[in-house]
Each structure stands twice: as structure tokens, then as C-alpha cells.
């Protein structure tokens, strides 16, 4: 979080975004149980379960170690688990 209370945006390349989507998308068990607005900066409700990214994603993208994820519909939602804010939304299309 920076001085004005905003979590900095996670900067991922298109290749990193694609790798995360491909790795995580197939696991249908990690879907948010309820609906919430999955836009960058949105607050994540406390009842949403967050998951750790797979080890190979963390190894290839060290910046992602700070974040957890969930799925909303067909999108992977990266979340700052300390501030419970959406930091990135990765969909099937780059």
C-alpha cells in the first residue's frame, strides 16, 4: 500500500498473465462461492476464500508471492490478502 492508501497495481507481462490463467483456470474447485465485483481496487468480501498460487507460478513470477487468488466466472482474480483488495483480473483473453 502506498502513501495514499492504495495498493500498487501488480505489473504482469501478457506471458505471465497467460501462464497464471492457464495454470489456475483448470481447477474448478477454487471458485468464489458468491458474486462480487471483480475489478481492480474493489474490496473482496471476507467470506471469499482465497488460494495460494501454484509453486511454479510463484517461482516464475516472484512479485506474485504477496497475492492470493480466487475465480469469478471465467476470470482469475488476484487479491492483496492483507487489505482484501483486487489487484488484477486475468481473463481468458489477453
For each of the domains in the chain, give its residue range(s) and CATH number, in order of start. Answer: 14-90 (3.10.450)
Statement: residue 6 has pLDDT above 70: no
Give yes or no for a contact between 59 and 66, defined as CB atoms under 8 angstroms apart.
no
pLDDT at 89: 93
In sequence order, what are the beta bridge partners of 86?
Answer: 79
- Band of residue 63 on the pLDDT scale cut at 50, 70, 90: confident
What value does the mean pLDDT take over residues 72-92? Answer: 92
User: Over the stretch 8-47, which tens digit does the pLDDT of each residue have?
Assistant: 567 888 999 999 998 888 777 777 776 778 899 999 998 8
C-alpha cell at 58: 510463484
- Band of residue 77 on the pLDDT scale cut at 50, 70, 90: very high
Give yes or no for a contact between 32 and 41, defined as CB atoms under 8 angstroms apart.
no
* Count of Cβ atoms closer than 10 Å to residue 29 Cβ: 6
Which H helix or E strand runs over 77? strand 75-80
CA atoms within 13 A on the CB side of 48: 26
- Band of residue 4 on the pLDDT scale cut at 50, 70, 90: very low
**C-alpha torsion angle, residues 46, 52, 53, 56 (rounded to 10):** 170
Statement: residue 92 has pLDDT above 60: yes
Amino acid at each position: 500500500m502506498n502513501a495514499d492508501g492504495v495498493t500498487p497495481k501488480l505489473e504482469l507481462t501478457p506471458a505471465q498473465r497467460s501462464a497464471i490463467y492457464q495454470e489456475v483456470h483448470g481447477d474448478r474447485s477454487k471458485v468464489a462461492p458468491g458474486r462480487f465485483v471483480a475489478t481492480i481496487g474493489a474490496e473482496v468480501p471476507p467470506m471469499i476464500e482465497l488460494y495460494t498460487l501454484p509453486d511454479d507460478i510463484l517461482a516464475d513470477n516472484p512479485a506474485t508471492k504477496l497475492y492470493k487468488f480466487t475465480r469469478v466466472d471465467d476470470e482469475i482474480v488476484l487479491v492483496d490478502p492483507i487489505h482484501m483488495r483486487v489487484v488484477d483480473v486475468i481473463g481468458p483473453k489477453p
